[in-house]
Amino acid sequence: MAAERNFEELYPRAPRYMVEVGDNDVVRFAHMPKGSKTMHTRIINISESGMAFLVPYLTAPQIDEMIKVQFTAPNAESVACYAKVVRVQVHRTYHKTKKPQTFKMVAVEFENLHPTQRQMLSTGITEQLKKKQAEYRRDQIWTQCVWFFMDLGSKLRQLLAKLPIFRKSSAKKVDDNNYIDA
């Protein structure tokens, strides 16, 4: 019976916020031994339980490695904590004018995050998700209005085409002052 349960039932995921341009998307991380180099990189997504970020291909930490991360939570303050690397995978970026670049995407799970920090993350992420939902709804309403008025304009053109004053005249001009019906 337990084998039939799916993974999501056993390990529910926290809502993810996909970090966008304009968000504070920089994470600072360091491998655990003291004196190791600190690196800055870009966050891909974040939740109250962890985050994913890109690192240069050769500097990626290993799975199960503990690292220290510091970042600014959405609509909140800076957070510094330890995190366990749970996934590392190749990530390629493509751009029209630049050649493809290869990075590694590192997914981490926060370790012993203080309840205040977890609440701050949860609140910030929830606010950002609500803001994105409102933008999406506004865009959907705008699109519906545009389609409605385009359809209305089409129907109005069809209706006007049926009116006699907008029909093309079948009268032919004989000279400057005289017309005859064809």
Residues 6+ apart with CB under 8 A from 165: none
Q: Does residue 28 lie in a domain region?
A: yes
Q: Does residue 177 lie in a domain region?
A: no
Contact 27, 70 (CB under 8 A): yes
Q: Does residue 90 lie in a domain region?
A: yes
Q: Determine the Cα–Cα distance for residues 138 and 105; give it in Å rounded to an integer.
A: 33
Q: Determine the Cα–Cα distance for residues 128 and 146; give it in Å rounded to an integer.
A: 27
- Give the pLDDT confidence of 70-92 residue by residue, as tens digits: 888 777 778 888 899 999 998 87
Higher-scoring residue by pLDDT: 11, 148: 148
Q: Does residue 145 lie in a domain region?
A: no
Give me the mean pLDDT over the 47-58 stretch: 85
Q: Does residue 136 lie in a domain region?
A: no
CATH of the domain at 59: 2.40.10.220
pLDDT band at residue 35 using 50, 70 and 90 as cut-offs: low
| Cβ atoms within 10 Å of 26's Cβ, excluding its own | 14
Determine which of 26-30, 121-125, 144-148 has the lowest per-residue pLDDT on average.
26-30
Residue 158 clears pLDDT 60, i.e. is over it = yes
Percent of the chain residues past pLDDT 90, beyond the cut: 5
Give me the mean pLDDT over the 51-69 stretch: 86
Residues present in the chain in total: 182
Q: Does residue 97 lie in a domain region?
A: yes
Q: What is the SS3 assignment for 146?
A: helix
pLDDT band at residue 151 using 50, 70 and 90 as cut-offs: confident
> Would you state the torsion angle of the CA atoms of residues 50, 53, 56, 62, taken in this order, to the nearest 10 degrees?
20
Q: Is 139 exposed, middle or buried (0-12, 13-18, 19+ CB in 10 A)?
A: exposed
* Whole-prediction pTM: 0.60
pLDDT given at position 21? 47
Determine which of 50-54, 61-65, 116-120, 169-173 has the lowest per-residue pLDDT on average.
169-173
Nearest to 52 by CA among 13, 102, 105, 128: 105
- The range of the structural domain enclosing residue 108 comes to 2-128
Q: Does residue 135 lie in a domain region?
A: no
pLDDT given at position 84? 92
Give me the mean pLDDT over the 92-104 stretch: 77
Number of independent structural domains in the chain = 1
Q: Does residue 149 lie in a domain region?
A: no
Q: What angle do CA 69, 78, 32 make, to 5 degrees?
A: 20
